[in-house]
A and B are shown apart, each in its own frame.
Chain A
Amino acid sequence: DAGVIQSPRHEVTEMGQEVTLRCKPISGHNSLFWYRQTMMRGLELLIYFNNNVPIDDSGMPEDRFSAKMPNASFSTLKIQPSEPRDSAVYFCASRPGLANYGYTFGSGTRLTVV
């Protein structure tokens, strides 16, 4: 089991550019989460998918952020246009079923917007 796979590990981009973060959840996990972590705000839930359907996107900061899950094995988080305040580590996590103990997190994408 390769775990939750995120790419890229690091991304540096200029303000105004589009950024796409990618996630491959663990096979068989039907829930997928995107989190953002900063020193100031800690870990924040951005969006939650269950069976590829977005269930809760109330944590998405604004319209510049969008997320998709076209199939059970792939999800993207897109920021367009990016801003310096979007700089953070973005984590993808998946879990089987609905229990809170089954979360497996990816290694994260460190995004720097200059």
Chain B
Amino acid sequence: DAKTTQPPSMDCAEGRAANLPCNHSTISGNEYVYWYRQIHSQGPQYIIHGLKNNETNEMASLIITEDRKSSTLILPHATLRDTAVYYCIVRVESNYQLIWGAGTKLIIKP
């Protein structure tokens, strides 16, 4: 199973774009990249996922490099409510055993 590497923490100014990187150099062809976040004292929340192509939804954009060895989650206009731990998870779609690493603690500053 592919492992992921994320920076332990990041800061971002409110209103700016927050770019959260994730390295997954051992990703295999059928593994998806999933992003979840956990706001303090709450359960994790699904954000976005992708296989090869870049994806965008109402919450964020996901940019996956052409070789699929890394990806970036983009929150286009960060707000204070986006302060959370962000988890990057790589998994085949049918494998329910999600590996939750330490994630990136994103702090949005006013």
Which residues on A are within 8 Å of B, measured CB to CB? 4, 31, 33, 42-43, 45, 48, 56, 91, 93, 98-108
Contact = CB atoms under 8 A, between A and B. Distances in A.
Task: From B44, B96, B97, name the one whose CB has the most chain A CB atoms within 10 angstroms.
Answer: B96
Interface in B38-56: 41-46, 49
A101 B41 CA distance: 21
A104 B91 CA distance: 17
B36 A103 contact: yes
A42 B42 contact: no
Nearest to B101: A42
Contacts of A48: 96
Chain B facing A: main interface SS: loop
A99 B50 CA distance: 12
Interface in B71-92: 89, 91
Contact of B93 (A31, A99, A106): A99
Interface string B17-50: 0000000000000001010100001111110010
Contacts, number: 52
A21 to B, nearest CB: 13
A93 B41 CA distance: 15
A100 B42 contact: no
A93 B45 CA distance: 10
Nearest to A98: B94
7 contacts: A43-B100, A56-B97, A98-B94, A100-B49, A102-B46, A105-B43, A108-B41
B44 A43 contact: yes
Contacts of B91: 100
